[in-house]
């Protein structure tokens, strides 16, 4: 199981990569493993406002469905269209090609509140 | 060891459309005895593209072959937990097909339908007697439909009292239809965690003036009796709420205890579970609903009633939630359930529940120690194991698939969600001890195979017509109908 | 007891193995305060002979097309069903099986449902069909809920010419969902009134619902209805209570329908005093994930062999729970199988021929009836196998004296349509011989007793 050091994490198993005031979001290796083969991804439209802690999308596998929560408040700047035809990318490359949305953050410093890799790993260990 | 499951010649069969041959016919209609008529051309269709053209022989072979790929209760043991796959009596099939019952139009004036109305009224009273409720409606077409009726009745009762309560409490062990139904009735769902059975404390912690109802299943989906049900119902009532019971597991209680006597306000029955009507490969079932006296005015309708010597549909039900179907419900299924109840009698129904519970406990005794048993309370009509102790990297799914090779329909798996790797076994009362023994022998053998030769489980099933199917591609690239020659 | 095999010896042995002394001990967790302390008060059990005797006594009290000539329609239809249908569906591998959750041993059920889904799409001209709903009325209600979910609007327009029991069912489903249901008037020709529709359509409308044919047997101008509906950004929901009509009529999918819901009872299901019937539900490809009900999809197994599975289950209650597209679980599986066998026996030609006979016999009946003094036809729109007759003599009296002549002449409309209190609905199918239609006309001509 991978926990890239340079990323931030949430309790809902999303990862965040911060590039100034833009946050790239996806779900973690742990999440994709728990879900199984991803069959469908529902993403919001570009321009949609999202609020920290509220669901903005859905990831479906054959036997399960999971809401994806916005780790930060802001606006959807870009979505990963590739996931529409090839949702399995989330399984094979959850941290890179499997990115889901890019959010233009309302407050760049909100990202500082998120967990680092070590804290997230500890959370996983606790949950198991 | 000769197992029940074996391989044999089974025939392949294409899709209907792949057999089709222009000009073939499988029907006969009398010649038209009146002048032909036409509709304006712009209203008319072209031929139905792709619709099959087959002879009667083609069609009969097609469906006969398809049937050989299936497994029914008549094939063998079918221990699906919470589904009550008991034997479907054959006389019920004859009953439902009797002329005078099968070919009766629903708009037949009641005075010319006294026979069927009497049957329906008798069934209503019989179900009321078994469950302890004041009145039963037969209209809902399935359990989930009954749940909808029940929750709408509860809401109607609240609305009549100008209550704006918006929440429904639902244990996390509940069948998925329960929260889905609560949403359809316009409620927000508040899940309650439970460790086995519900405690008064847990319910109390969540019960407030915004809670319209608590939905329970009793016995619950772990096969355990909700021992605290009376005090829980009292609590909910004291705080102005009502209690709904999912009656899917009634097979454990007939003649033993009645939900209506426990303080429950509304309950749905599953005629295709407790009352022996066939499951049909996914229905039709029927989901009658029983209520306390106070809730009678809100029942969907119109229901059947007896006035003097005459049977009719209720006239005065202004407070009813209305109808949930075009007509009176799955009457053909009611005829079968009624036949079952008349064949069993009261003592027979009690005996059925006793044997159902004995059978489940017998399986529990034989498999305890071989499979992990998460709950130590006495099981009723179903028992839950998990795959916690399973070796060889095998999981519940693999046990299920290997059981197929052994000649059994697998138990319910991965439900309820609170038990990781749940295996829920409900034998029902119609299975003899030797069938149970053979099944347990198979389960024990499979646990051994997991330890010594896990590939047998991981590659299972190997004897069925198809092996494990690619459900991922089916969901990623759905192909939901035949698209023509490709 | 022939369904419960345990002997007394079996029970003793099993109790010992379980480790309890008596059956009572198995119920130790059921508190004494709720235990039933008396036997169930139900009649003594009957043997098979006695049971059938009892049921036959009840059966003869009912009027059926075998005892009476029947012209009853209104959402349930007396049609021919080929002999092979019931015999095939009586194979116990079909009817004693459950939902195909273990696909490897359910390929029979699954392939048949896939074939059902295919033929329903072919018939309606739509993209995707589910594995069935309870009946046409509840399918129509679920269609309305789906349209509401998709458009996020709260107003629904229902044609008054839509089957009143379908409308009532929609109303029940919508009771507590904060929706507004509005009736659209019927025009003089028996079709939905376009002027009234235009007046009521607005940008809060989620759906417009019409029958095809409608309750009066009239064929709606779906193309125009769909166009107006779409202009307002709403979804066109079409309800087909009599799918035999689709043997002749343009499929709703070609006329702008967004959701087509209906009942397959006409395709081989016994009238059975109202059920079990079978709802069908079809949508456009783009709305697939918002659709309720089970879906069967094609796939391959480990050896590359074609097979079928339940799919897209994440929409459903057992996974999505409170966010599911519906709460539906068991549906009408065996009934869908009945219609599948029926449709394969009738086929392309048979359905057209059956529809043609319905059209012709109803046209003949209309023509004959129109010539009877004291009776008149009400709607002049194009119609299929049902029509409305106005009577000078009170409808109740007419139907009563027809009964005495052994005829179930039609359904009185007054309860559902006060403005048609002097009218009744007559249905004629291929099952009504010319002599029966002539008998109906003669009986009407007979005049008041």
Q: Where are the domains of chain A?
A: 8-107
- Would you say B79 and B85 are in contact if contact means Cβ atoms under 8 Å apart? yes
Residues of chain B positioned with their CB less than 8 A from the CB of C48? 91, 343
Name which residue leads in pLDDT, A19 or B459: B459
Check whether the bond before B286 is cis (ω within 30° of 0): no
Instruction: Give the chain A residue whose CA is nearest to the CA of C324.
Output: A65
Give the residue from C293, C312, C311 showing the smallest Cα distance to C120: C293
What's the confidence (pLDDT) of residue A64?
Answer: 81
B397 touches chain A (CB under 8 A): no
Give the Cα separation of B439 and A43 in Å (integer). 47
Residue C397 pLDDT > 50: yes
What's the confidence (pLDDT) of residue C316?
Answer: 72
Residue B363 pLDDT > 70: yes
Q: What is the pLDDT of residues B190-229, one digit of tens each?
A: 999 887 899 999 999 999 999 999 999 999 999 999 999 9
Q: What is the pLDDT of residues C257-310, one digit of tens each?
A: 999 999 999 999 999 999 999 999 999 999 998 899 999 999 999 999 999 999
What's the confidence (pLDDT) of residue B176?
Answer: 83
What's the confidence (pLDDT) of residue B2?
Answer: 75
Would you place residue C447 in the very low, low, confident or very high pLDDT band (cuts 50, 70, 90)? low
Question: What tokens were used for C193?
Answer: 């009134």
The kind and range of the H/E element at A15 are strand A14-19
**Architecture in CATH of A8-107:** Beta Barrel (2.40)
What's the confidence (pLDDT) of residue B194?
Answer: 83
Residues of chain C positioned with their CB less than 8 A from the CB of B432? 5-6, 10
B319 touches chain C (CB under 8 A): no
Q: What is the pLDDT of residues C13-69, one digit of tens each?
A: 999 999 999 999 999 999 999 999 999 999 999 999 999 999 999 999 999 888 999
Would you place residue C449 in the very low, low, confident or very high pLDDT band (cuts 50, 70, 90)? very low
C426: number of CA atoms within 13 Å, CB side?
37
What's the confidence (pLDDT) of residue C331?
Answer: 75
Would you place residue C391 in the very low, low, confident or very high pLDDT band (cuts 50, 70, 90)? very high
* pTM of the full structure: 0.94
Interface of B with C in 297-316 (CB under 8 A): 300
CB contact under 8 A, C93 and B67: yes
Would you place residue C330 in the very low, low, confident or very high pLDDT band (cuts 50, 70, 90)? low
C320 touches chain A (CB under 8 A): yes
DSSP code per residue over A80-97: -THHHH-TTHHHH-TTTT
Residues of chain A positioned with their CB less than 8 A from the CB of B472? 36-37, 39, 62, 88
**B interface test, pick of A61, A62, A127 with most B CB neighbours within 10 Å:** A62
Instruction: Give the chain B residue whose CA is nearest to the CA of C117.
Output: B481
**B interface test, pick of C70, C101, C104 with most B CB neighbours within 10 Å:** C104
- Would you say C160 and C185 are in contact if contact means Cβ atoms under 8 Å apart? yes
Give the residue from C383, C442, C37 showing the smallest Cα distance to C218: C383
What's the confidence (pLDDT) of residue C65?
Answer: 83
The pairing of beta strand A55-61 with beta strand A65-69: antiparallel
What's the confidence (pLDDT) of residue C347?
Answer: 96
C318 touches chain A (CB under 8 A): no
C446 touches chain B (CB under 8 A): no
Residues of chain B positioned with their CB less than 8 A from the CB of C288? 478, 480
Subunits in contact with chain B (3 or more CB pairs closer than 8 Å): A, C
What's the confidence (pLDDT) of residue B485?
Answer: 59
What spatial distance separates the first Cα and last Cα of chain C, rounded to whole Å? 56
**What mean pLDDT do residues B42-66 have?**
96
Residue B486 pLDDT > 60: no
Residues 6+ apart with CB under 8 A from B339: B89, B91, B92, B95, B96, C51, C55
Q: Give bridge partners of residue C231 from the DSSP assignment.
A: none
∠B66-B478-B49 over CA atoms, to 5°?
65
Alpha helices (runs of H) in B217-276, residue ranges in sequence order: 229-238
Q: What percent of chain A has pLDDT over 70?
A: 99
What's the confidence (pLDDT) of residue C448?
Answer: 53
Residues of chain C positioned with their CB less than 8 A from the CB of A42? 289
Alpha helices (runs of H) in C269-332, residue ranges in sequence order: 317-320
The kind and range of the H/E element at C411 are strand C411-412
Residues of chain C positioned with their CB less than 8 A from the CB of A61? 314
What's the confidence (pLDDT) of residue B361?
Answer: 97
**A interface test, pick of C314, C315, C318 with most A CB neighbours within 10 Å:** C314
Residues 6+ apart with CB under 8 A from B47: C348, C352
Residue A97 pLDDT > 90: yes
A contact set with C (CB within 8 A):
39-40, 42, 60-65
Instruction: Give the chain B residue whose CA is nearest to the CA of A35.
Output: B472
Question: What tokens were used for B94?
Answer: 């004859």
């Amino acid at each position: 199981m991978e926990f890239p050091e340079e990323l931030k994490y949430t309790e809902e198993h999303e990862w965040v990569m911060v590039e100034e005031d833009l946050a790239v979001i996806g779900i973690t290796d742990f999440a994709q493993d728990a879900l199984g083969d991803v069959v469908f991804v529902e993403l919001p439209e570009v321009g949609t406002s999202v609020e920290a802690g509220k669901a903005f999308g859905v990831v479906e596998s054959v036997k399960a469905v999971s809401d994806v929560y916005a780790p930060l408040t802001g606006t959807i700047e870009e979505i990963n269209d590739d996931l529409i035809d090839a949702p399995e990318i989330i399984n094979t490359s959850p941290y890179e090609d499997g990115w889901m949305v890019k959010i233009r953050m309302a407050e760049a410093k909100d990202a500082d509140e998120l967990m680092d890799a070590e804290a997230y790993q500890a959370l996983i260990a606790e949950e198991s | 060891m000769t197992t029940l499951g074996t391989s044999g010649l089974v025939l392949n069969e294409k899709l209907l459309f792949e057999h089709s041959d222009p000009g073939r016919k499988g029907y006969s209609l009398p010649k038209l005895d009146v002048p032909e008529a036409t509709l304006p051309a712009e209203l008319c269709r072209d031929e139905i593209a792709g619709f099959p053209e087959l002879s009667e022989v083609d069609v009969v072979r097609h469906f006969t072959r398809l049937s050989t790929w299936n497994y029914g209760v008549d094939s063998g043991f079918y221990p699906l937990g919470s589904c009550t796959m008991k034997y479907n009596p054959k006389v019920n099939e004859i009953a439902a097909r009797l002329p005078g019952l099968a070919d009766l139009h629903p708009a037949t004036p009641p005075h010319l339908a006294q026979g069927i109305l009497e049957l329906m009224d008798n069934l209503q009273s019989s179900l009321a007697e078994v469950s302890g409720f004041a009145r039963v409606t037969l209209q809902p077409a399935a359990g989930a439909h009954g749940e909808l009726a029940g929750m709408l009745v509860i809401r109607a009762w609240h609305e009549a009292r100008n209550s704006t309560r918006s929440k429904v409490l639902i244990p996390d062990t509940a069948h998925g239809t329960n929260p889905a139904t609560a949403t359809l009735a316009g409620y927000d769902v508040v899940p309650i965690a439970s460790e086995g059975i519900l405690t008064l404390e847990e319910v109390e912690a969540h019960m407030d003036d915004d809670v319209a109802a608590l939905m329970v299943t009793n016995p619950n989906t772990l096969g355990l009796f909700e021992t605290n049900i009376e005090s829980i119902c009292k609590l909910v009532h004291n705080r102005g709420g009502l209690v709904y019971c999912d009656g899917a597991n009634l097979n454990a209680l007939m003649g033993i205890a009645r939900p209506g006597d426990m303080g429950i306000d509304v309950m749905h029955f599953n005629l295709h579970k407790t009352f022996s009507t066939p499951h049909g490969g996914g229905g039709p079932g029927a989901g009658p609903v029983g209520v306390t006296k106070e809730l009678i005015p809100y029942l969907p309708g119109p229901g059947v009633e007896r006035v003097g010597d005459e049977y009719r549909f209720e006239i005065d039900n202004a407070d009813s939630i209305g109808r949930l179907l075009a007509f009176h419900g799955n009457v053909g299924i009611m005829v079968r359930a009624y036949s079952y109840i008349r064949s069993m009698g009261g003592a027979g129904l009690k005996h059925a529940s006793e044997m159902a519970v004995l059978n489940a406990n017998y399986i529990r005794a034989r498999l305890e120690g071989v499979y992990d048993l998460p709950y130590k309370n006495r099981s009723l009509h179903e028992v839950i194991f998990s795959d916690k102790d399973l070796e060889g990297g095998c999981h519940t799914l693999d046990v299920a698939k290997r059981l197929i090779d052994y000649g059994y329909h697998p138990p319910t798996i991965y439900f309820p969600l609170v038990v990781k790797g749940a295996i829920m076994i409900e034998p029902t009362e119609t299975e003899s001890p030797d069938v149970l023994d053979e099944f347990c022998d198979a389960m024990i053998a499979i646990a051994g195979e997991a330890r010594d030769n896990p590939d047998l489980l991981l590659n299972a099933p190997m004897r069925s017509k198809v092996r494990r199917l690619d459900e991922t591609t089916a969901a990623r690239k759905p192909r939901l109908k035949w698209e023509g020659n490709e | 007891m022939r369904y419960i095999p345990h002997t007394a010896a079996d029970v003793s042995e099993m109790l010992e193995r379980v480790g309890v002394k008596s059956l009572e001990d198995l119920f130790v967790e059921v508190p004494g305060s709720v235990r039933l302390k008396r036997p169930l008060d139900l009649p003594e059990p009957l043997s098979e002979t006695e049971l059938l005797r009892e049921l036959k006594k009840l059966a003869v009290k009912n009027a059926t097309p075998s005892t009476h000539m029947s012209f009853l329609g209104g959402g349930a239809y007396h049609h021919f069903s080929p002999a092979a249908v019931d015999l095939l569906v009586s194979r116990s591998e079909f009817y004693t099986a459950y939902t195909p959750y273990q696909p490897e041993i359910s390929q029979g059920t699954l392939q048949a449902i896939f074939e059902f889904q295919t033929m329903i799409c072919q018939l309606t001209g739509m993209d995707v069909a589910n594995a069935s709903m309870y009946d046409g009325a509840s399918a129509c209600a679920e269609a309305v809920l789906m349209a509401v979910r998709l458009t996020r609007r709260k107003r629904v327009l229902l044609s008054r010419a839509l089957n009143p029991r379908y409308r009532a069912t929609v109303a029940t489903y919508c009771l507590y969902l904060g929706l507004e249901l509005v009736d659209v008037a019927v025009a003089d020709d028996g079709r939905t009134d376009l002027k009234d529709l235009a007046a009521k359509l607005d940008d809060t409308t989620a759906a417009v619902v019409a029958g095809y044919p409608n309750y009066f047997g009239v064929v709606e101008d779906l193309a125009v209805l769909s166009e107006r509906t779409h202009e307002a950004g709403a979804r066109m929901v079409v309800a087909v209570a009599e799918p035999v009509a689709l043997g002749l009529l343009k499929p709703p999918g070609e006329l702008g329908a967004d959701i087509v819901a209906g009942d397959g009872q006409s395709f081989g299901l016994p009238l059975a005093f109202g059920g079990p019937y079978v709802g069908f539900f079809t949508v456009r490809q783009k709305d697939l994930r918002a659709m309720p009900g089970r879906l069967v999809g094609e796939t391959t197994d480990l050896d590359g062999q074609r097979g079928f599975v339940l799919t897209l289950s994440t929409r459903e209650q057992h996974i999505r729970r409170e966010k599911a597209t519906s709460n539906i679980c068991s549906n009408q599986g065996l009934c869908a199988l009945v219609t599948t066998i029926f449709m394969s026996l009738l086929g392309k030609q048979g359905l057209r021929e059956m529809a043609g006979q319905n059209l012709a016999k109803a046209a003949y009946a209309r023509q004959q009836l129109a010539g009877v003094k004291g009776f008149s036809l009400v709607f002049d729109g194009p119609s299929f196998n049902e029509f409305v007759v106005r009577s000078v003599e009170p409808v109740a009296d007419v139907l009563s004296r027809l009964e005495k002549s052994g005829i179930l002449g039609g359904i009185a409309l007054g309860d559902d349509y006060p403005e048609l209190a002097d009218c009744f609905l007559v249905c004629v199918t291929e099952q009504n011989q010319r002599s029966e239609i002539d008998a109906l006309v003669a009986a009407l001509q007979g005049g008041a007793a």
